Amino acid sequence: MAFTARRGGGSLGPAGARMPALKALGDLGVAGELNITPMIDVMLALLIIFMVVTPVLSEYSAEPPPAVHVTAQKLRDAITLGIDGHGTYFLGEDSIPAAQLIERLRAVYAVRPGDHLLYLRADRSLPYSVIMNAVDAARAAGVRTIGAISQPAGLGADSTATGGNP
């Protein structure tokens, strides 16, 4: 047993009771103090590092590269699902009823076995649930990746806002 209760050894505990002492320490008793010198060394090293790094970081300024005119890319052979402000679905230029959306998407992706990418364009005024219903329908049809198409600010009105097809 590592601890022994000796009558002559150990230190006094609460209410004058003897504390057990380690046999290896002899009559020195249990050392209840932590050696905090390594911790202080680490803290001082970190303090010095932060004192050196902080002025460098405060003088550093990152500037993003200047923006160039963003033009909409034409997606060749891409399947785009559009939703206008009234909740009408469009696959390309064709209007699709909501009940037939899954079947039409399955038919489109049946002839494209390696391509399961769908681009989604929706009117800003639509409730989130309408968009999530379209995403759920696409997932049910086997679409693996859905990309959102947005229009950069300043390029004119969105086609869905003017009443046209997305």
Domains in the chain (CATH in brackets) are 80-148 (3.30.420.270)
CB atoms within 10 A of CB 101: 20
Task: Average the pLDDT over 85-100 and give the result.
Answer: 89
pLDDT higher at 46 or 113:
46
How does DSSP assign 3-32, residue by residue? EE--SSSS-B-GGGPBPPEETTTGGG----
Question: For residues 65 and 96, what is the distance between their CA atoms, to the nearest angstrom?
Answer: 42
Question: For residues 30 and 18, what is the distance between their CA atoms, to the nearest angstrom?
Answer: 11
pLDDT of residue 53: 86
Q: Give the pair of three-digit tokens for residue 86.
A: 């009234």
Asked if the model's pLDDT at residue 164 lies above 70, the reply is no
pLDDT of residue 163: 44
What is the rounded end-to-end Cα distance, in angstroms, of the chain? 82
Confidence band, pLDDT 50/70/90 cuts, at residue 104 = very high
Distances (CA, A) of 43 to 19, 36, 57: 34, 11, 20
pLDDT of residue 45: 96
**Weakest mean pLDDT among 22-26, 38-42, 154-158:** 154-158
Residue 99 backbone dihedrals phi, psi, to 5 degrees: -70, -25
Confidence band, pLDDT 50/70/90 cuts, at residue 159 = very low
pTM above 0.85, yes or no: no
CB atoms within 10 A of CB 27: 10
- Tell me what the pLDDT averaged over the chain comes to: 76
